[in-house]
Copies of this chain bind each other. A is one copy, B any other.
Amino acid sequence: MKEEGSVKRPARGRRPAEEAPGGWTGKVDKQSWVPAYAQLARLLRRRIADETYAPGSRLPSEATLAKGFGVSPMTARQAVGVLSEEGIVHRVQGSGTFVRRIEVLKTHFALDTLHAVLADQENLDVKLERAVVERVPSGARALLGAGDGEPLVVVERLIRHRGEPFAFQTACTRFDPESPILEKMLNTAVLTEFFFEAHLPGFKKGVLELVPAVLDGREAGFLGEQAGCPAFRLEQLLYDFGDRPAAFGWFLVSPGKVRLVSRVGVWDD
C-alpha cells in the first residue's frame, strides 16, 4: 500500500513509553507513537467489547484488515496475534479468526502478589528457624532420589514483610558437602539471591505445584494465624544441570497475603 506523498513517519522501533491519549476511535495513525499493530489490536479489542464483533463471530481476514487500515499484512497479522495471545480470539487455519467465548477453564493464575512482596526487599527479613541433618522425612527422600540411609538437610525459615510474618519456608536437599546447592541453602547472603531475586542460579529446571493446605499448630504459630486456617502451599522440586532432582521444598503463605486472580473475557482498559 502506497503512502500518500513521501511523508516521513516520525518514529519506528520502540516508541517512548507513552500511552495513547484515549478517546480515539478512528483508524491506524502512523504519525502516532503507538505502534501500528498495537493501535489495530486495541481497535479490534474495542469492537469485540462492544459486540461489533460478537462472541463466536469471525473477524475480517488479516488481508482485509491490512488493506482496510493501510498496513502491511505482517503488521495486521501481528495485531491479531496480540489478541490471540490474550486469548480473546482464536485462529483457525484455512477458516478464519473467531471471537472466543469466555473460557473459564483455560485461564491461568500468576503469582503476581507473591512476587510483589518478595521484590520489596527493603521491607523483608528472613529468620532461620531450624537447620538440621535429618534421616527422617521419607516423602522428600523419594522425590530427591536419596537412599534410605542417606542424610538430608532440612532448613526452615520464616520470612517477614514489614515486620509481619509472611511465609514459612521448608527446604530439603542431600547432605553432600561438595554440593554448591547445600552451601547456597545455608548461606544467608546467597539466600537473598536464591529466592528473592526471583531466579535460581545453579538449577536447570523445576516443577512447582500449588496445593491447598491447613496450617498445623506450629506453622500457624510462625505465621500468626489460627491452627486449622487454610493456606497455600507452593511446593518446589528443582533439578540441577545433570537433570537430577537436587532440592525440594515449599512455601506456606496465609491466604489474604497472596491472591491468585485471573481475568477472563474482554477487559478494555
A-side residues, CB < 8 A to B, are 14, 49, 51, 55-56, 74, 85, 93, 100-111, 114-115, 118, 195, 198-201, 203-214, 228-232, 236, 238-239, 241, 255, 259-267
Least CB separation from A85: chain B residue:
B85
**Known contacts A259-B209, A266-B205: A100-B199 contact under CB 8 Å:** yes
CB pair A109–B108 under 8 Å, yes or no, is yes
Instruction: Tell me if B114 and A255 are in contact (CB < 8 A).
Output: no
Q: Is the CB of A198 within 8 A of B232?
A: no
A100 to chain B, nearest CB (A): 7
Indicate if the CB atoms of B111 and A106 lie closer than 8 Å: yes
CA distance A118 to B238 in the complex (A): 31
Among A105, A201, A255, max chain B CB count under 10 A is at: A105
- Are A195 and B51 CB-contacts (below 8 A) given A204-B266, A205-B264, A209-B261? no
Is B206 a contact partner of A102 (Cβ separation < 8 A)?
yes
Cβ contact of A207, chosen from B211, B213, B214, B263, cutoff 8 A: B263
Closest CB in chain B relative to A265 CB, distance in Å: 3
How far is A105 from B194 in the complex, measured between Cα atoms in Å?
12
Decide if A205 touches B267 in the complex (CB within 8 Å): yes
A235 to chain B, nearest CB (A): 9
| 24 pairs, A vs B, C-beta closer than 8 Å | A49-B204, A55-B201, A101-B200, A101-B201, A102-B199, A102-B205, A105-B111, A105-B114, A106-B198, A108-B109, A109-B109, A200-B265, A203-B265, A205-B263, A205-B267, A206-B263, A208-B261, A208-B264, A209-B260, A210-B260, A211-B255, A211-B259, A212-B212, A212-B230
- Check if B214 sits within 8 Å of A214, measured CB to CB: yes
Residue of B with least CB distance to A110? B108
Contact present for B104 and A236 (CB under 8 Å):
yes
Q: Is the CB of B199 within 8 A of A214?
A: no
Shortest beta-carbon distance from A225 to chain B in Å = 12
- CB–CB A115/B108 < 8 A: no
Determine how close the nearest CB of chain B comes to the CB of A32; give it in whole angstroms: 19
